[in-house]
Amino acid sequence: MGSDGLKWWIGRVAPRSAWADAGLLANDKDIGRKVNEPEIDIYYNRVKVQVVGYHDQIANPRDLPWAHILATPMLPSGYGYKDHTHYLEGGESVFGFWLDGEDEQKPVIMGVFYRHKKSDDESPPLGSSASTSTNANNDPPESKPTGATAGTNVGTSDPIKEQRYISNRKFNIVTGQWEGEVKTRSNITNETSTGKGVSSAADSHHLFLKRKTNRPTCRRDNAISEITGILGDFAEILITAQQYANFYVNGAIGVLGNLQSEIDLIAKSIAKIMTGLFNSIRDQIFIEVGTRMQTFINSILPEEIKPIFGQSTKEIMDTIFCIFENLIGSLLKTITDFLLTLVGKFVNAPICAAEQFVGALLSKLASDMSSAISPILETLSNTLGGALGKVNEIIGKALDIVGIVFKFIGCDELKCPLPSRWDNSFGPTQGERDSAQRMFSAISILNIPTGFDENGKPKQTLGGFLQEAEGNTSSIFGEPTDEEKQTAAYISGLVGGCDSQLLRCGPPKIEIFGGDGIGGFANAVVSNLGEVIGADVIERGFGYSPTKPPYVTFRDACGNGSGARGRAVIGDDGGIDRIIIDYGGYGYLNNFGEIKTIYGTIPGDVNSETANSDSKTVTGQIDIVEVFDPGFGYNPGDTLEVGNGAELTPIIIGGRILGVEVNKGGTGFTSIPEITINSETGVGANLSPVLKFTDVGQDSLPPAETVIVVNCVGK
Amino acid sequence: MPNAGKGDFDIDNRRNFRFEGGQNSPYGKVSYRVLTNLGSGHGWYQVGKSEDHQMVATGRSVEALGENLQKSKTDTQDPVNPAKLISAKHGDIVLEALDGDIILIGDNILMYANGIRDTGDGDIQMYANKGINVHATDIKIRGTNLRLMGIKDLSLIGKVYGEFTGGVINAVASSDFGASTLLGKLTSIVKSLGAF
C-alpha cells in the first residue's frame, strides 16, 4: 500500500451522535456514562466520516464507515504514556487517504480544514449529542431576551444593540434538515461578542478585573473624593446595565438581577464614609457642648454640686450618643433610597455632584439629627439659663468643622497624603481634600431637573429631590416624556458647571500629578486606530524630580478607550521632557463627537465642533528608542530598520543591544512602528520607539502621514 | 480595534477554556492568559517593561500551603520559614474586603512601620467606624509622648490597684481652668510652648 502513491479524499466528519456512543472519547462530555460497561470498546482515535463522491447517498450517518485519525508523534499516542484524544466534534471538513488503497473501505484522517469562527454554514452543529436533534447552545431559546428593541441601557435609555449573531438552530440527523429560528448564544470563549475581536468570556474577565480602591487619609477628609469615585462607578454600572421588561442585566457579563446587589454594595460603601463623617459630627457636638458647659460650671456652680451636675450631664450625653447610633444605624437605607432616586438621572459624577450628593445627605441627616437631639439640648440649655446658647448654632458649628477633631490628637504629625484612587484599568488618580464650605453650599442636588418651567428649562430644586429621596421611586427607569426628550439638545448645550446629566466623549485627557512638581500639561495623540501613540507636551511645568517623576494617567470620560499607560521623563531643569507610552490601549477617540445624556446618546453638537476646531495637525518622528530587552548574540555590524526615513544605529556591547542612537527621526509615523533587527546571530532584543510630534500644516503632508491632535487641556 | 495590524497573537480554543496571548486588553497587552467560559482565569499583561499578573475567580480563591513544610520553633528560636511570602519591591500592598472581614490569625502577629522621616513614613494608623477592642493579659503602651483623650468620656480604672506617677502631676477638671489664677497662667505658658 502506498508504494505507487496514496489515494486522497476529502470528506466531513459525521454528526457526533453517529459515533460518540461507540467511540467514547477520553475527555469527552459523555465520559462516565458507559465507561464501566466492559463490552463497550473505547475508541478515542476514530470517528465516522462522509467522503465526498463516495457516501453522498447514505442518509443515516450511522451507516458511514469508521475513519482512523492519524496523530502527530509530537503528542502522546498510547505507547507507554497517557492517551491523547482528538478534538473532532462532528461536522468538520477533513482530508485523508484510503489505508486500503484501491479498495477504498478504510479511510484515515490526516488533517482538518479550519473553520472560521464566524462562519455560519449549514454544517451539523458542534457539540451535538442528542440522538435525534441537537441544540448548539443547550440553552432554552426563551430564556434570553433577544432582538434590537428588546431592551434599553438604563443609564442612557439607548436601545440595546444585538451583540451576537450565532446560529442556534437544531439539526435533525434523521431528516438531515435544519430546524428552528436563529437565536443568540451565551458567553463562550471561542466566539466574539463586541466586534473588537474580544470574546464574550474575555469581556466578562475584563469587567471582573475592573476594580478600584481608595487610599484613606488620617484626617478622614476624603469623603467627597471617595464618593465622587463611587458615584462614578455607579454611573458606569447604569450606563452598561440593560433593562429587559422587569429584569436588569449587567450588559457585559449577562447576569440577571444583579443591579440591586450592585446598588446595595455601592450604598454600603457610601454608608461607611458617611458613618465616619457622622462620628466626627458627634464628636464635635460633644466638644462644643462640653466647652460651653465647662464655662457654665466654672463660673456659676458651687463646688459641692459639681459632681452631681457632672453625672447628670453625662447621662444626657449618653442619650445623645445613643441617638446618633440610631441615626447611623439607618444610614444604609437612606443612602440606598438616594441612589435609587438617581437611577436614570445622571451619567456623570464630577466632584461638584458628589459635593451636592453629600451635602444633600447631610442636610437630610442633619435635619433628622436636629429634630432628635434639639429637645434634649434645649431642655438642658433652659435648665442652665440659656448657657448652651442656640442649639442650631452648636449643630451648625459641628457640621462646619467636620474632621477638625483629628487635630486634637495630633493628626498633623501623622503621614496624611492627599486622597487618591487606584483604578486597575488606568492607574492612579489624585483626589482633593474635602471642602466643608463647598459641601454645604452646594446642595442643589446634582442639577437634577425635578420639573420644567414654562420655558421648557429644567427646574432644580432641593425640595423635589428630598421628596423623591424619601422613597418615591416610581420614576426609576421610567421612559422620559416627549418634553424631556426634547431637552436632550438643551442638555447637550450645557458647558461647564456641574454637568451630571451628560458625558462628552472625546480624546483621553492626560492627568499629570505627584512628584512634587506642578504645571505639566499634555494632550494625548491618538491614532486613527484608537491607540494612544504619544503625548504632545503643552506645558513642561516645573519642580519635578527626575528620580520621582509624576504619575501620568489617561482618563476617558465615556470609557470608550481603555488601558493606555504612560510615564513622564523629567529634564534636569525640573520640566517634563517627554511622556513615554508604555501601552497604547485601544478604542480611544481622537476628537469630540458623541454625547451620552440621560435621555440617550446624541451624535454631537456645536460645542463638540468648537472643541474639535482647537486642534493641530502633527506628524510623528522617532524621538528615542527604549530597550525593553537587550537580547544576546548580536554583532557590531547588525542594523535596524524602521522605515519612513528614520535611521537608527544599535549600540551593541557584549552581544547585547544596550541602546539605540537615533540618527534621523524620519517623519510621517501615525502609529508606533515596529523595529526590524537585521542580525544573523542575535535573538531576543525588544526595542520600543518613542515618538515626538511636530506641528505641520494641514496640507503639507499626505493625510496618511499626519494625525489630528485635539486640545483637551481644561475641557 | 484591538489587534488591528497585529498578527502576532495566539489563540487556543477548547470547549471549556481558552489560551490567549498577544491581544490588547484594558490591562495591557496579553502575554499569556487562560480564560474559562464564565470569565474566570489568570494571566500576565505587558505594560512597558513590566508584566502585571491579573487573576479572576468569580468564587473563592483558596491556597492550601505548607502541608509538608518543616517549621521548627522553640521559645528562643523561631527562624523565619514562610509558607507564603508576598514581597513587593516597589508599590503598596492592599488588602480590601468590600463586603466582608479581614481576619488575621497566627501564633504571633507582628506589625512594624519602618518608614523614614524624609518621606513622612513610619506610622501605624488604625481607624474604626465603631470601636477598637484590645483584650490581652498584659497590655503595655509606651511612647516618648503618650496622649489619651476621650471626646465624651474617659475612664481609667484599676480594679485592684491604681497608680499615677509623673514628674509633675496636674489633675484638674477643665471646668476649673481659670478658677485658679496660678493654674491659668501655667496653662497659658504650657500652651505657648506648644505642648498641646
DSSP collapsed to 3 states, chain B = CCCCCCCCCEEEECCCEEEEECCCCCCCEEEEEEEECCCCEEEEEEECCEEEEEEECCCCCCCCCCCCCCCCCCCCCCCCCCCCCCCCCCCCCCCCCCCCCCCCCCCCCCCCCCCCHHHCCCCCCCCCCCCCCCCCCCCCCCCCCCCCCCCCCCCCCCCCCCCCCCCCCCCCCHHHCCCCHHHHHHHHHHHHCCCC
Nearest chain B Cα distance for residue A375, angstroms: 20
Of B2, B16, B120, the CB nearest to A196: B2
Contact A360, A467 (CB under 8 A): no
Strand extents, DSSP E, A357-508: 420-423, 427-430, 451-452, 458-459, 502-504
Say yes or no for a CB contact (<8 Å) between B1 and A206: no
Return the top range by mean pLDDT from A52-56, A130-134, A500-504, B115-119: A52-56
Of B54, B99, B179, the CB nearest to A298: B179
Nearest chain B Cα distance for residue A426, angstroms: 8
pLDDT of residue B114: 93
Lowest-confidence pick of A61-65, A193-197, A275-279, A582-586: A193-197
Contact A276, A220 (CB under 8 A): yes
- Chain B contact set for A208 (CB, 8 A): 39-40, 56, 58
Phi then psi for A354, rounded to 5 degrees?
-65, -35
Nearest chain B Cα distance for residue A63, angstroms: 28
Distance of CA B31 to the CA centre of its chain: 31
Say yes or no for a CB contact (<8 Å) between B1 and A196: yes
Say yes or no for a CB contact (<8 Å) between A294 and B174: yes
How far is residue B95's CA from residue B97's CA, in Å, rounded to a whole number?
7
Taking CB atoms and an 8 Å cut-off, how many pairs form between chains A and B?
Answer: 158
Q: Is the pLDDT of residue A188 over 60?
A: no
Q: What share of chain A is helix, strand, coil (3-state, %, to 5)?
A: 30, 25, 45
Strand extents, DSSP E, A157-274: 170-172, 177-179, 212-215, 241-244, 247-250
How far is residue A265's CA from residue B65's CA, in Å, rounded to a whole number?
32
pTM for the whole structure: 0.73
pLDDT of residue B101: 95
Contact A507, A614 (CB under 8 A): no
Nearest chain A Cα distance for residue B84, angstroms: 24
* Cell numbers describing residue A481: 416624556
Hey, how many other C-beta atoms are within 10 angstroms of the C-beta on A593?
17
* Cell numbers describing residue B150: 476621650
Return the top range by mean pLDDT from A176-185, A596-605, A640-649: A640-649
How far is residue B190's CA from residue A441's CA, in Å, rounded to a whole number?
38
* Cell numbers describing residue A26: 477520553
* Three-class DSSP category at A419: coil
* Cell numbers describing residue A11: 470528506
Nearest to A48 by CA among A83, A21, A72, A71: A21
Amino acid at A142: E
Say yes or no for a CB contact (<8 Å) between A189 and B37: yes
Q: pLDDT, tens digit, for every residue of B126-163? A: 889 999 999 999 999 999 888 888 888 889 999 899 98
Contact A181, A136 (CB under 8 A): no
* Cell numbers describing residue A286: 460633644
Q: pLDDT, tens digit, for every residue of A35-89? A: 444 334 445 678 899 999 999 888 888 899 999 999 888 776 666 655 566 778 7
Could you give the angle at which helices A351-383 and A306-329 cross, rounded to 10 degrees? 150
Phi then psi for A540, rounded to 5 degrees?
-75, -20
How far is residue A327's CA from residue A333's CA, in Å, rounded to a whole number?
11
Of B25, B37, B178, the CB nearest to A187: B37
pLDDT of residue A489: 44
- Chain B contact set for A586 (CB, 8 A): 1-2, 24
Amino acid at A340: L
- The predicted complex's ipTM stands at 0.82
Return the top range by mean pLDDT from A76-80, A535-539, A709-713: A535-539
Radius of gyration of chain B (CA): 28
- DSSP string of A51-109? ETTTSTT--SGGGSPEEEEPPPTTS--SSSS--------S--EEEEEETTGGG---EEE
Of A208, A317, A583, the CB nearest to B39: A208
- Chain B contact set for A567 (CB, 8 A): 48
Say yes or no for a CB contact (<8 Å) between A306 and B26: no
Report residue A389's pLDDT band, with 50, 70 and 90 as the boundaries: confident
Report residue A117's pLDDT band, with 50, 70 and 90 as the boundaries: low
User: Is B76 an 8 Å CB contact of chain A?
Assistant: no
pLDDT of residue B90: 93
Q: By CA distance, what is A207's nearest residue in B?
A: B39
Question: Largest Cα–Cα distance in chain A?
Answer: 125
Say yes or no for a CB contact (<8 Å) between B23 and A220: no
User: Is B35 an 8 Å CB contact of chain A?
Assistant: yes
* Cell numbers describing residue A645: 526615513
* Cell numbers describing residue A713: 487641556
Could you give the angle at which helices A351-383 and A462-469 cross, rounded to 10 degrees? 80
Classify each residue of A96-122 as buried b or exposed e, where b means 16 or more C-beta atoms within 10 Å of its C-beta.
bbbbebeeeeebbbeebeeeeeeeeee
**A186 vs A1, A127, A136, B15, CA distance in Å?**
48, 15, 11, 13
Nearest chain B Cα distance for residue A644, angstroms: 17
Say yes or no for a CB contact (<8 Å) between A530 and B24: no
Q: Is the pLDDT of residue A365 over 50?
A: yes
How far is residue B117's CA from residue B107's CA, in Å, rounded to a whole number?
31
How far is residue A232's CA from residue A268's CA, in Å, rounded to a whole number?
15
* Cell numbers describing residue A654: 557584549
Q: pLDDT, tens digit, for every residue of A462-516? A: 333 344 333 332 332 234 445 544 444 444 444 345 677 778 889 999 999 988 8
Report residue A195's pLDDT band, with 50, 70 and 90 as the boundaries: very low
The tally of CA atoms less than 13 A away on the side-chain side of residue A632 is 0
Hey, how many other C-beta atoms are within 10 angstroms of the C-beta on A189?
26
- CB burial of residue B166 (10 Å; 0-12, 13-18, 19+): exposed
pLDDT of residue A442: 45
CA angle A549, A551, A556 (to 5 degrees): 150
- Chain B contact set for A563 (CB, 8 A): 24-28
Residues 6+ apart with CB under 8 A from A83: A26, A44, A76, A77
User: Is B31 an 8 Å CB contact of chain A?
Assistant: no
Running DSSP on this structure, what letter comes out for residue A136? Answer: S
**A199 vs A42, A444, A511, A571, B51, CA distance in Å?**
34, 43, 31, 43, 22
